[in-house]
Amino acid sequence: MTNSDCIVLGHALALTTSDWIALGSTLATLTGVIVSVFVLWKQLGKLSDQLFMQQFADYTKRYQDIILHFPEDINKHDFDFVGRSDYHQTMRYIRAYFDLCFEEWYLNERHLIDKETWVVWGGGMKTALSKTAFRQAWEIIKNDTSYGKKFENYIASLL
């Protein structure tokens, strides 16, 4: 490199006051964009958490509304639908329960809920289907309602 090259190179790197102002403005704009993107990312995470909590609360409320209408003895081993005066009301709410189970299963199949939520919901279904009333009800419901083969196979795997 010759002296004349250094002068040209040095002269090319010399910044005027307006160049410094432009550079500062560009850096400030870039910093603002980075901060804005970070804040937006954090807000989207919080919004996602809020939507999850709302969905979870909605499903929990629906579940509670259903089970509050079950007869007190529904969890007994010797529960039997035959001759019960509350047969139709109980079946209406057990049907609503299986509809809710189908929705939860479908959300899981589409990967729209996290694994931890599915463990809770799937575990609840397994527990319910370990009870006589729910097994009897499923035998009745599967003969007049179709949830699709995949869900019906899932329920069969829990029985």
35 lies in some domain: yes
DSSP annotation of 101 reads: H
Give the pLDDT confidence score for residue 13 in this predicted structure: 67
- The closest of 137, 138, 125 to 71, measured between CA atoms, is 137
* Same-domain status, 116 and 78: yes
Residue 104: which domain range?
Answer: 69-159
**Residue 100 in contact with residue 66, Cβ under 8 Å?**
yes
In a domain? residue 60:
no
pLDDT tens sequence for the chain (159 residues): 454 444 444 555 677 888 888 888 888 888 888 888 887 887 877 777 788 778 878 888 999 999 999 999 999 999 988 888 999 999 999 999 999 999 999 999 999 888 998 999 999 999 999 999 999 999 999 999 999 999 999 999 998
Does residue 6 fall inside a structural domain?
yes
Specify the DSSP class assigned to residue 129: T
* Residues 147, 152, 157: CA angle, nearest 5 degrees: 155
The verdict on 22 and 89 lying in the same domain is: no
Note whether residue 55 is domain-resident.
Answer: no
Residue 133 inside a domain? The answer is yes
pTM, 2 dp: 0.69
Question: Does 136 reside within a domain?
Answer: yes
105: number of Cβ within 10 Å: 20
